[in-house]
Amino acid sequence: MSSLRFLIQVLCATVLLSMMSSAGFAQEQSPHERWSDEVVELFSTLPVQDRGRIKPMNSIANLNLLTLNGKRTLKLDDDTKIDANRWLLDVLFFPELARTYPSFRVQNDEVIVLMGLKAKKKRDWYSYEELIPGVAKLDAEARRVFDIEGTDRTPAEAQALKLSQDLRQLENLTQLLFFNRVELPFDASPALRDVFGPKQPGLGWMLPNVREFQQLLGQVPQSQTEDVEAAGNLLLELENSLQNVSGALTLIPPSAKEDGTRDDTWWGPADILYNGFTTNRDIQVQTELLSLFETLEMQRNQPDQFLATLETFHARTVGLAEARGEYGHIPLEVKLYSWNLFTRALVVFLLAFILSCISFLVPTAGWLRVTVAVLNVLGLGMATTGIVMRCIIRSRPPIVSLYDTILFITCVVVLVALFIEWATRQRIGLLLAAFLGVAGMFLSMRYEVHEIATSGDTMASVVAVLDTNYYLAIHVTTVAMGYAGGLLASAIAHIWLLGRLFGWRRDDKAFYTSISRMVYGTVCFSLLFSLFGTIMGGVWANDSWGRFWGWDPKENGALLIVLWMLLILHARMGGYIRERGMANMAILGGIVVSMSWWGVNLLNVGLHNYGFISGVAISLYVMWGVEAVVLALGTLGYFLEQSKKKGGGSAPPPVPPPTTASA
């Protein structure tokens, strides 16, 4: 026993220490030390506006790499790894090198064959240089697939469209310093040379001379053909170049509008160039910032100079963002991604689940039970901290998207399961807290990639009607708690059915009565919050849409949960079902919850038709198939028990339904 205890303690300590190290408490050195830790830290905390939200460059790096690669670290051909920030630094300042990185995950080799290329494996990673020879065929296929409804696309068609978008995404990232690498005819005539002086890379050096150039356009006599043609060609080249940089990062806070009001949209190179030519706004500060950033590429092989220029750019940009009140949450968001709390919660829950299973083999080891409880609380704390940080960053309640519901429901399920364990001391709550914690965190990681691919972020801005309503915040939170109760009741019911089927503690009737009371209590929990949440949803709909109820599929799904939980309680209290019947109905209740939570989104209709992804349908069908097998096994167990009773004497008296107090 002491040896087992020692080994488990060593295992827990090893896992926790490795998590602390990977979380940044002990920085791991990358084999590719092109970028120093000081550069990476400054770069990661640069503010950028993306999809209407100010976020750190660290988030841009992580979100983009996760979209393209499926991971937040990039494994190179020599089996070394670089983190997302160093990858983005290479993309911006060494694009010719970044194009050789295997940044693109291709899940279906049919797409590679369609591009006229040779596939490596059915699923593999490819570099930009490997894919670019077939990009014309890929874009043609993507244009065809774009007009097909998402529900009707084949996996290969969906992959073709995504890969085409991913290639454009990487190209847009590399275009931030486009003007450093393009040759524009600023010195094509004597008049242009007089205006701009010696030609230099980038835009920053020429933007201060825009007004003088505009004056030149109005003063050059038509007889000076060379100057007229040169000026016209320059304007045409600048106009064409704007298309190349239109998707570049917007990392420069704008100047005030001509009427003195604030512009909420940040600027990239195209915006500075456009405002320089078409408005009378003062763009001196923005021009200087752009010039500083362009200087970084020229200093990319000079580490000391690069760091000094980056420090200057960082200080000035952060100062502008702070003056606008838009930098406050940047450091917190950097910590959220660097700590990687949800992944670490998954590891802790997994360890808790393993030890929980061991504890059933060694029921007298009280210290093992305490260890499992501590790990579950630790995992819950990590996940909850991550949710709270997301709420602070967005200044929003915990649920805005389907991804949020996974995290929130997981935490609620674990919390309620731990409360059940505290009340019953049966170790069932600890087992379910760990198992459902693993399932929820794993599902959140899988869905995170889909969420980012759809909206570009897991904390994307939402429309105004969803961003400010008090009733909506209460509605989505309480309904999600109702979902959590229904799913937990279903999970507990699995233990009852499968335990009886396989003879686990067969003669311990008090044990199974206790499990039935757990099911009963969590059904009551689900009914309470589902009913209140559904009513609050109607109040919000009446306030926002002018009607309380519209028989929308999502509304119908919420109502179905309420009715099903009522049916379970009515049937149990009325004596129509006993423990086994309640377990069966609770498992069916889990199916009802999954249909309301995810299934109605597959219909792609109604006012709640968000969150559709093709892979969910298959996962739901698999889940429902597994549940059907469990119910069939439970039915088989019932007939086996009945046959034993007939052969072994009279059946025991029926167990009365639980009272309200005992539930």
Length of the chain: 663
SS3 106: strand
Nearest residue to 418 (alpha-carbon basis) of 388, 360, 375: 375
Separation in Å, CA 141 to CA 119, 251, 272, 275, 561: 17, 33, 35, 37, 42
What does the CA dihedral 357, 361, 363, 365 come to, rounded to 10 degrees? -80
d(CA 217, CA 222): 10
The sign of the torsion formed by the CA atoms of 472, 473, 479, 483 equals positive
**Can you name the residues that pair with 40 across neighbouring β-strands?**
none
Name every residue whose Cβ is closer than 8 Å to that of residue 654 and which is 6 or more positions away in sequence.
Answer: 578
CB-count exposure of residue 273 (10 Å: 0-12, 13-18, 19+): buried
Q: Which residues of the chain register pLDDT less than 70?
A: 1-32, 220-224, 461-469, 601-616, 647-663
- The residue written with tokens 């490819």 in the block is 126
Question: pTM of the predicted model, to two decimals?
Answer: 0.85
Q: Percentage of the chain with pLDDT > 90?
A: 54
